[in-house]
Amino acid sequence: MNGQVGLTRRELERELAWMLRSIPDDPRELVKLISQSVVSLLDKNNEAISRGLAQREASGGARGHG
């Protein structure tokens, strides 16, 4: 592991492209879609971070600072 814990930039871009595959004409709906996309990306990245940290701890790779 190279220190990457969450999703990579490319993974985030791919997820976002999928979410924005159909753009609404109504500006209010666009704002709603963007808001939902941001929250969804944060959730997905948080899940990836949790998995990555759990794997590090399970493999004894967690390093304490202090």
| pTM exceeds cut of 0.85 | no
Could you give the number of structural domains in the chain? Answer: 1
**pLDDT (average), residues 11-38:** 97
36-61, pLDDT tens digit by residue? 999 999 999 999 999 999 998 898 86
Q: Are 23 and 33 in contact (CB under 8 A)?
A: yes
Residue 44: CB atoms within 10 A of its CB come to 15
Domain annotation covers residue 36: yes
Domain annotation covers residue 41: yes
Domain annotation covers residue 38: yes
Domain annotation covers residue 20: yes
- For the chain, what is the radius of gyration of the CA atoms? 16
Domain annotation covers residue 17: yes
Domain annotation covers residue 28: yes
**pLDDT (average), residues 23-48:** 97
Structural domain of 15: 9-58
Given pLDDT bands bounded at 50, 70 and 90, which one contains residue 66? Answer: very low
Residue recorded with tokens 């595959």: 21
Domain annotation covers residue 1: no
